Structure 1
Amino acid sequence: MAGAARRQAPRAVVVGGGIGGLTAAIALHRSGWRVTVLERATSLEPVGAGIGLAPNSQRALDVLGLGDRVRALSAWQGAGGVRAQNGRWLVRTTSAATEREFGGGLVSLHRATLVDLLVGALPAECLRLGAEARLADPGGPCHRAVVATGAGDIEADLVVGADGIDSRVRAALFPAHPGPRYAGFTAWRLVVPAPRKPFEPHETWGRGGVWGTHPVKDGRVYAYATARVPQGSRAPDSEKAELERRFARWHDPIPEIIAGAAPADILRNDVRHLIEPLPAHHRGRTALLGDAAHAMAPTLGQGGNQAIEDAVVLAHHLAPDSDPFAGLAAYSAARVPRTTAIVRQSARTARLNHLTGGALLTLRDALLRTACRIGPDLITRGFATIADWRPPQPPYAAGTDAGAQERASAQR
């Protein structure tokens, strides 16, 4: 009887094996779907460096029973804030303020660590690597969706397009949409050994660019930098040399971090976003999530966080025995307004922290310092409406403050 029940379970095909796609596959599998993840890469070595997880995505992972494990593998972000190019603190934050405003702490880890954890939570037979896929039919009330692969077509009761910013699934669903646009700046990312002197996690806002330095748990730091440049620009020599030209005169520990980076370990990508929102995050029997649905600038650090939210909300609305069309409509209704607002807030923040004019820079920094003096938690509260999100279903982790023991241990 158990085998028959499994054979009769509806089938979901997830196109894309990134963080959002894997999380969606885990959530759907645990709710009773037969899940197949199609990933065109032949291995799941993440393209990227570090990732920060805010309390909103940690709560989503709690629903899957993975939140505590992620927190145990992460470095906790305690005191820190925003600095000026010369090192002066513009905004100071504390772990207590973060906990109070967000209902939890911020953590950071290597993307490879998170992907390994997600892969381990999914049965091996669910994952197919080296599988090129395209959406041949989004499906409808009287017929299933169809995904075409090199090994043949796959019919599915649900297709999840988690295939990134250049999503082929999105293009098939909404061919008239203009797609991603250049956000006006490029980004570098790197993971290097921690500097010799202790430092507080920080993001530095300078002239036309940003630098961020955050620890990961294995004795390394995740660093990132952005700068306003024409689209498609590349360094004439090496990206390490470009970072040295742009940032080596900024405050410590930035010069040491650049010096410790191997040129091959520095990733550079122009930043693009879906500044024009999609009309919905679904059509027919097909849903979109993550960058495929709402690619955003990294200025709020919410790209991966929102993909994780998407995955848990999608599974919540799509129980195997429920009406998939009502569930997909509810998914879009829940996610489109929230992610559209965050895409736009990320774009506004990008304009603010990439100012180049001297007078505007002076005014911006003065306003940040004033706001911090008026109320130390004022800046933190601006992020609270994002970070205080809670999933529509209760967590499977223990208690409402899952991970408290790991947090206390990490802070001792």
Structure 2
Amino acid sequence: MQSPNNDYNATSKRGWFTRFLDGVEWLGNLLPHPITLFAVFCLFIIFISGVAAYFGVSAVDPRDGETVIKAVSLLNAEGIQRIVTNLVTNFTGFTPLGTVLVALLGVGVAERSGLISAAMRGLVMKAPPRLVTVTIVFAGVISNTAAELGYVVLVPLAAMIFYGLGRHPLAGLSAAFAGVSAGYSANLLIGTVDPLLSGITEEAAKIIDPAYTVGAEANWYFMMVSTFLIAIMGAFITDKIVEPKLGKYNKDEASIDLSDQSSMDPLTKQEKRGLIYAGLSVLVLAGILALTVVPEWGILRHPETGDVKGSPFLKGVVVYIFFFFAIPGFVYGRTVETMRNDRDVIDAMSHSMSTMGMYIVLVFFAAQFVNFFKWTNFGTIFAINGAEFLTNIGMTGPIIFLFF
């Protein structure tokens, strides 16, 4: 029998942790909408640029040691004119806007036809019982190829699979949610997130070098390794920590009804045939693409050096994302009869675009902020002065990675 003091200490610890989580939630709720944040940042940049220019904030270009880079004001007549005349082009010329929209046109076809959902179900439901957890987390990680489909399809499916195996469904739900959320930017493939991130990085890099380009494949090695790392760690935490804490699932005392397992029905013969035909179409597309890249005479190699680096192949990777989703998606849809003609394809593309309203609004304000920041020269000035500060305090070399 535990003493009253032990009960009191346990209650105090739970109370402290609960208060901590409540505090985190309260602080999170204080944050305004991301679109509002970007709008506020724009106003802040305009105001602070006037202050910085008034006080003569500047930095000496380390490349020649003579050129002085000064802060540019956006709070004067010239700055206001620049903002007004470039507001539209800032938006339309923002790299992440076009790249993400083009990629989602193809993804929309694959999603609406049912290809991605069927592939996800086939991957998870065919996994051996001992590997089901790691397979669910792995599927959650790679599901970001199709934007938020993992939340819609995989999370409830994982709960049903765990239920069917006699395991706690909340453990399966949390494993899938962890894979989808924690691994959202990792993947074995280049998806819709990568053009977005590379576009933002490129816009920032152009502050220093206007000719600098960042391809969507720039982060692939890190993403690929992270996919397996997150899958293994997510499965380990689920099996060794989360599920033991939840205890054995009691169906009689459960507050949710999972008796209907219709969503766990195996793939039909028609769906399997659709996946086979879609896979064959991927192989055909890959073969055609290889002919344009692998041979030395490949038309998608760099026209001057003949290398793959800096070639039209890498610069146009978003186009390949479009075709590698749209064509297999249509092939699958024709096979399972979810798509019959061009109208169905157009409807799928239109539907994917209709979900991008919030993103487009966000991009509008983000594009203004990035360009305002670039015009003021703040990026260059902060980079130069920041590097000098780190050098002066002796923080150079690998030690920087410990703090940044």
**TM-score interval, smaller chain:** under 0.3
Using the size of structure 2 for normalisation, the TM-score is 0.22
Higher helix share: 2
Larger radius of gyration, structure 1 or 2? 2
Using the size of structure 1 for normalisation, the TM-score is 0.22
Higher strand share: 1
